[in-house]
Amino acid sequence: MDTRFRVETPEGIELAFSVAGAVPRGLAFLVDVSIRSVIYTVSALAFFLWLGEAATGPTLLVVFATEWFYPVVFEVLWRGQTPGKAGLGLRVVHMDGTPIRLPASLLRNLLIAADFLPLAYGFGIVSMLCDRHFRRLGDMAAGTLVIHTRHEGLPDHVELGAAPVPPPIALDAEEEQAVVAFAERAPSLTAARADELARLAAPLGGTRKALEGIAAHLLGREGSGPGSQGSAS
Amino acid sequence: MKQEAFQRERKDRWRSFEMALLALEEGEPAAADFAGAYRAICQDLALARERGFGTGLVSRLEGFAMRGHQQLYGARPLKGLRWLEGLLEFPAALRREWKLLAATALLFYGTGAASYLAVRIHPDVVYSVVGSAGASGIEQMYDPEAPHMGAPRETSGDLAAFGHYISNNVSIGFRCFASGILFGLGSIFLVGFNGVLLGGVAGHIVNVGYGETFWPFVIGHGAFELNAIVVCGMCGLRIGLAVTAPGRRRRGDALRTAARGVLPLLYGGTAMLVVAAVIEAFWSSNHDVWPTPLLYAVGTGLWIFVLAALVFGGRRRAG
């Protein structure tokens, strides 16, 4: 299942965001809960040492503000990330992919009170599991998504172990892409698996080396030795 | 053009765009031509996709485009204090919602009055409302000798009482709003529940004979606090109605629009709760300092002010 969320930008290109599921979001939440409890403890202690008996008032105010506005402050000032979300590589964005701002952040974080019901974030979890974009109730009302910030992309320059060779038969666009994709992924596969996959392309030679040679040709690589062409990153 | 020639030709442009992105992500001001460089990246991405270039190259360009998009369309946070403008829209926004507001007020004050009368007529009813431990807790809280009415007995000092009122009352307001997303049921329950609770408490206090100190205590901040609960509950009902009866829109769209629409009301409701906490902690609770007639006079004045603001406010903007 493709869980990516596609947005068309005004520049006419389509961006695909990977939406984060309940597990990384839950872990980020746990990190934030721990940080919040540290804030409570430290502020209670500091106020007590400073003010003694009169510490109750300021402590209650800090607890109240942290409880409701900790995520708002971080999300608005830090481009959609609380410390927990930053640690897990998550970010809150509007449904059009732009960074979250105060109104949406306030809404989604006030509505956490509804996600919390009936107990232990029951509605929030059910909502995330049912929704195609893993949104909790607060996200739906605020029009926000939680996305992964890390792109585990492939390198855009691969070392090919073969000199460019034209393909022995004519390839259509899809087949050309498959050959290039194989060459890109081969370094991350075990040798046995790479050979096994290469055998599927018997008409093209059926070996990894043969496919890499064709890929080099398709990429337009010049020269004759492995890696002789300078980096084009 | 073959992929590697394409890459060679644009290598420098991509590298300088990446530097610009890193600088922006570090919080430095944008270069003058950033928007143009971003559009060029978008074009490269579109070309790379169209020509079926390798996944590695396309995903690298996608990464650039996404990060650029975040920077270009990322508004500067909190610029111009937009939320303050939201607060200024409060009276007009209330005015537009007067029907729902009246319905919520009816729910809150209706359940309150019913509960008050029930406890006055059958004093034992209070034990079904708050339980026996709750009843004695209330008696302690509103004991004329208590230093801070409405706060736990051990609370000492105006500031501690203020902290208690803020964290308690504002949280109740927020919950009255948030639970409304459950088809409005949460808001109806919480507003009714608070009405029953407050009415029952008032009835019980009067039954045990503390009425003479209770009313002058609650009248001042009550003007803001009780009506703020109504406003927050109304916000919850508004989003609940959007989910329940979205009309000709999709449920999600109706919900998002309604949620954006109630924000000025939420700002206003929260501000009212903060004002109530200030009055309660620093004025009402000094009921032993000020003469009772003064407390009544100020309290009545505050009610007239709030009600007049609700009835007459925002006519110009609501237009």
Look at B120 and A156; give whichever has higher pLDDT: B120
What is the C-alpha separation between B107 and B100, in angstroms, rounded?
A: 11
Closest-CA residue to A61 (of B171, B150, B222, B283): B171
Shared domain check, B130 and B17: no
Share of chain B above pLDDT 70, in %: 91
For residue B152, the model assigns a pLDDT of 60
For residue B35, the model assigns a pLDDT of 85
What is the C-alpha separation between A233 and A156, in angstroms, rounded?
A: 7
In whole angstroms, how far apart are CA B204 and each of A222, B215, B225, B267? 92, 13, 20, 33
Determine the distance in angstroms separating the CA of A16 from the nearest CA of chain B, rounded to an integer: 8
Determine the distance in angstroms separating the CA of A202 from the nearest CA of chain B, rounded to an integer: 22
The domain segmentation of chain A, as residue ranges, is 4-148, 155-225
Of the candidates A57, A97, A101, which has its C-beta nearest B77's C-beta?
Answer: A101
Is residue A223's pLDDT more than 90?
no
**Chain A environment of B166 (Cβ under 8 Å):** 60-61, 64
For residue B154, the model assigns a pLDDT of 56
Query: Is B221 in contact with B179 (CB distance < 8 Å)?
Result: no
For residue B141, the model assigns a pLDDT of 77
Total domains present in chain B:
2
Instruction: Write the pLDDT tens digit of every residue in B261-304.
Output: 899 899 999 999 999 988 888 787 766 677 888 888 888 998 99
H helices within chain B, ranges in order?
A: 3-25, 34-50, 55-73, 82-88, 90-96, 98-121, 125-141, 158-165, 171-178, 185-207, 211-244, 251-282, 292-312, 315-318
Share of chain B above pLDDT 90, in %: 26
- For B160, the domain range is 82-318
SS3 A230: coil
**Chain B environment of A101 (Cβ under 8 Å):** 75, 77
What is the C-alpha separation between B306 and B313, in angstroms, rounded?
A: 10
Q: Mark which of B35, B54, B73 sits at the end of a domain.
A: B73
Look at B200 and B150; give whichever has higher pLDDT: B200
SS3 A83: helix
Instruction: Write the pLDDT tens digit of every residue in A150-202.
Output: 766 666 677 777 778 888 887 777 788 888 888 888 888 888 888 888 888 77
What is the C-alpha separation between B314 and B310, in angstroms, rounded?
A: 8
**Most B-contacting residue of A4, A5, A15 (CB-CB within 10 A), to test interface:** A15
Q: How many CB atoms lie within 10 A of CB A225?
A: 8
Q: In DSSP terms, which residues pair with B24 in a beta bridge?
A: none
Across the range B85-93, mean pLDDT stands at: 80
Residue of A nearest to B270 (CA): A110
For residue B150, the model assigns a pLDDT of 61
Q: Mark which of B24, B46, B73 sits at the end of a domain.
A: B73
Determine the distance in angstroms separating the CA of B167 from the nearest CA of chain A, rounded to an integer: 5
Query: Is A47 in contact with A58 (CB distance < 8 Å)?
Result: yes
For residue B138, the model assigns a pLDDT of 79
**Chain B environment of A160 (Cβ under 8 Å):** none
Shared domain check, B309 and B251: yes
Write the DSSP symbol of residue A97. Answer: S
Confidence of residue B94 (pLDDT cuts 50, 70, 90): confident
Residue of A nearest to B254 (CA): A141
Of the candidates A56, A61, A184, which has its C-beta nearest B155's C-beta?
Answer: A56
CA B11 to chain CA centroid, Å, is 50
Query: Is A104 in contact with A79 (CB distance < 8 Å)?
Result: no
Shared domain check, B193 and B48: no
Query: Is A114 in contact with B271 (CB distance < 8 Å)?
Result: no
Please provide residue A218's backbone torsions phi and psi, each rounded to the nearest 5 degrees. -65, -35
Look at A231 and A144; give whichever has higher pLDDT: A144
Write the DSSP symbol of residue A144. Answer: E
Q: CA A69, A75, A77, A81 torsion: positive or negative?
A: positive
**Chain B environment of A173 (Cβ under 8 Å):** 52
**Most A-contacting residue of B181, B189, B241, B278 (CB-CB within 10 A), to test interface:** B181
CB pairs under 8 A between A and B: 190
Q: Do A110 and B160 touch (CB under 8 A)?
A: no
**Chain B environment of A175 (Cβ under 8 Å):** none
Closest-CA residue to B180 (of B229, B222, B223, B249): B229
Of the candidates B65, B77, B252, which has its C-beta nearest A140's C-beta?
Answer: B252
Shared domain check, B165 and B266: yes
What is the C-alpha separation between A61 and B167, in angstroms, rounded?
A: 7
For residue A32, the model assigns a pLDDT of 93
**Chain A environment of B53 (Cβ under 8 Å):** 180
Confidence of residue A14 (pLDDT cuts 50, 70, 90): confident
Is residue B76's pLDDT more than 60?
no
Q: Do B182 and A113 touch (CB under 8 A)?
A: no
Shared domain check, B22 and B102: no
Instruction: Write the pLDDT tens digit of every residue in B132-168.
Output: 888 888 787 777 776 666 666 556 677 788 888 888 8
Confidence of residue A224 (pLDDT cuts 50, 70, 90): very low
Q: Do B78 and A102 touch (CB under 8 A)?
A: yes
SS3 A165: coil
Confidence of residue A232 (pLDDT cuts 50, 70, 90): very low
What ipTM goes with this model?
0.82
Shared domain check, B67 and B88: no
CA neighbours within 13 Å on the CB side: how many for B146? 23
Q: Mark which of B41, B73, B105 sits at the end of a domain.
A: B73
What is the C-alpha separation between B41 and A106, in angstroms, rounded?
A: 33
Residue of A nearest to B82 (CA): A102
Residue of B nearest to A152 (CA): B59
SS3 A50: helix
Determine the distance in angstroms separating the CA of B291 from the nearest CA of chain A, rounded to an integer: 27
pTM, rounded to two decimals: 0.80
In whole angstroms, how far apart are CA B74 and each of A99, B79, B148, B192? 5, 12, 47, 42
**Chain B environment of A137 (Cβ under 8 Å):** 181
**Chain A environment of B182 (Cβ under 8 Å):** 114, 117, 123
Q: Which residue has the tokens 């605020």?
A: A142
Is residue B237's pLDDT more than 90?
yes
Shared domain check, B295 and B225: yes
Shared domain check, B68 and B188: no
Q: Do A97 and B252 touch (CB under 8 A)?
A: no
If you average pLDDT over every residue of chain A, what do you get? 83
Residue of B nearest to A64 (CA): B167
Shared domain check, B112 and B57: no
CA neighbours within 13 Å on the CB side: how many for B98? 13
**Most B-contacting residue of A8, A13, A43, A180 (CB-CB within 10 A), to test interface:** A13
Residue of B nearest to A158 (CA): B56
Is residue B319's pLDDT more than 60?
no
Q: Do B239 and A141 touch (CB under 8 A)?
A: yes
Q: How many CB atoms lie within 10 A of CB B213?
A: 20
What is the C-alpha separation between B5 and B53, in angstroms, rounded?
A: 11
What is the C-alpha separation between B223 and B207, in angstroms, rounded?
A: 23
Is residue B311's pLDDT more than 50?
yes
CA neighbours within 13 Å on the CB side: how many for B64? 27
Confidence of residue A227 (pLDDT cuts 50, 70, 90): very low
Is residue A226's pLDDT more than 80?
no
Shared domain check, B301 and B183: yes
Confidence of residue B212 (pLDDT cuts 50, 70, 90): confident
Shared domain check, B103 and B64: no
